[in-house]
Amino acid sequence: MKQTTIPVNGPMMLKIASISGDLQVIGWERAEIAAKTAGSMLDFETATDCVTLVCDDDLIIYMAQDVRLSVGDVSGDVDLRAISGTSEIASIGGDAQMRNVAATNIQSIGGDLSLRTCAGDIAVASVGGDASLRDIKGSVNIGSIGADLYLRYASGNVNIQVGSDAILYLRPEGAAQINVKAGSDLLLRLPARVDAQLELASGYSEGIRVDFPGQEAVEMGNHRSVKLGAGTAQINLSSGSDLIVTSREEEWGSKAEFDPLGHDGPFSAGEFPGLPSEMQEKISRRIEDATRRAIQASMRAEHQGDRIQQRVEAAVRRAEQKISAAERRAQVAGTGARVRVQIPPIPPIPPIPPIPPIPPIPPISSMRNAPRSEPVSEKERMAILKMLEEKKISVAQAEQLLAALEGK
């Protein structure tokens, strides 16, 4: 086990030529770079604005959040968290998971990609497995994805080629350019009010469906052009099978979001021997809190956006219904015919029979003086208890009644 810590003064880049195992990088608030490896080698070379690190096994790094990261080949998995500096990685042999990062450029990922919250552009030449991305504050450029794609919210341009299915939820801004090609099915959800020009192509003649306010859901032809609003954004979609563009949450929501790595919860960073336990707990707690706040803020924003979207879609549907009703009325008025609707009379409600009066309770004195030849029956006791329960008599009156019935 090797570990070391060096100070960081001003803008800095951390360079790592290659890693023969997994890489885990976590941003922290200290002006330091701390590293540990399970291997037998961990060497630093420090220059004016660059630190070069060499190791021979799995590597865990805590570094100042604004340090830029440059990594060569990683044979295992990569996990990046809370990094505000840019990241460049040549190749990742396993999976890549990123949370709350800045602009990132990766040449190749052998396994799956899971990205949540990126403050800049994301560019990946190739992903061997699935890719799940959400909340990208920039452009998304992925040369090829071997399996499925899930993309939710990207504020910039989008250029992706997918080997299998693609599920998209986009809100294009301005003159955004969106180009997605899927080998199998493609489903895109857009807001009910959007300015976009759609150019759609499917692998067979009945594969295109546009389920949008004011658009006929035509399922004919393997090419279709649709203008929504002012048509400002350009959206080019191509699929090998079904291609659906919809504004309805119901259909889109039936396609469950997937995260190929399944790590949406708080991140548990690796322990760093040599730091006091209180310091480790404080660092881990800050990282978990920051990740949790980011996830909760993202969920709140999505929930609020979905509620607004649902209100807009409901208003659009109501407006369409009113327009259709007005058109029908105009057609009827044009023929000069009058439509009279007969509403059958509502049958009268039968009167409720009067409730029979409750017989008066006999005076206690008369019951006390009445002769009793047999003990009080269970039926009589129940009647007295019932009157007591219904608060028709008091406890004292109940006792007097029982005593009178027993001839006491």
pLDDT tens column, 138-197: 999 999 999 999 999 998 999 999 999 999 999 998 899 999 999 999 999 998 889 999
- Is 191 in the same domain as 60? no
Residue 111 vs residue 318, higher pLDDT:
111
Q: Which tokens sit at 185?
A: 């099915």
Least confident of 130-144, 189-203, 380-394: 380-394
User: Does residue 362 surpass a pLDDT of 90?
Assistant: no
Mean of the pLDDT values across residues 58-72? 92
Is residue 129 domain-resident? yes
Mean of the pLDDT values across residues 329-336? 57
Judging by DSSP bridges, how do beta strands 59-64 and 23-28 pair with one another?
Answer: parallel
Q: Check residue 129 and give its pLDDT.
A: 94
Mean of the pLDDT values across residues 246-254? 67
- Is 234 in the same domain as 90? yes
- Is 230 in the same domain as 124? yes
- Is 155 in the same domain as 35? no
Is residue 212 domain-resident? yes
Q: 298-301: which pairs have CB atoms within 8 A and are 24 or more residues apart? A: 298/116, 298/117, 298/134, 298/135
Domain closes at, from 200, 226, 253: 253
- Is 220 in the same domain as 122? yes
User: Does residue 339 surpass a pLDDT of 50?
Assistant: no
- Is 141 in the same domain as 59? no
- Is 39 in the same domain as 179? no
Domain closes at, from 71, 100, 127: 71
Which residues are bridge partners to 104 per DSSP? 87, 122
Q: What is the mean pLDDT of the chain?
A: 77
- Is 10 in the same domain as 47? yes
Q: Check residue 38 and give its pLDDT.
A: 84
* Segment 189-223, tens digit of pLDDT: 998 889 999 999 998 877 888 888 777 655 556 88
pLDDT above 90 coverage of the chain, percent = 42
User: Does residue 364 surpass a pLDDT of 80?
Assistant: no
Is residue 282 domain-resident? no
CA-to-CA dists, residue 377 to 33, 368, 384, angstroms: 92, 16, 11
Range of the domain at 92: 72-253
* Segment 263-322, tens digit of pLDDT: 443 334 455 444 455 555 555 555 555 555 554 555 455 555 555 555 555 555 555 555
Q: Check residue 73 and give its pLDDT.
A: 95
Domain closes at, from 71, 92, 113: 71
Q: Check residue 384 and give its pLDDT.
A: 77
Three-state DSSP at 164 gives coil
Is residue 294 domain-resident? no
- Is 59 in the same domain as 180? no
- Is 104 in the same domain as 235? yes
Which CATH number fits the domain that encloses residue 103?
2.160.20
Is residue 266 domain-resident? no
Number of domains making up the chain: 3
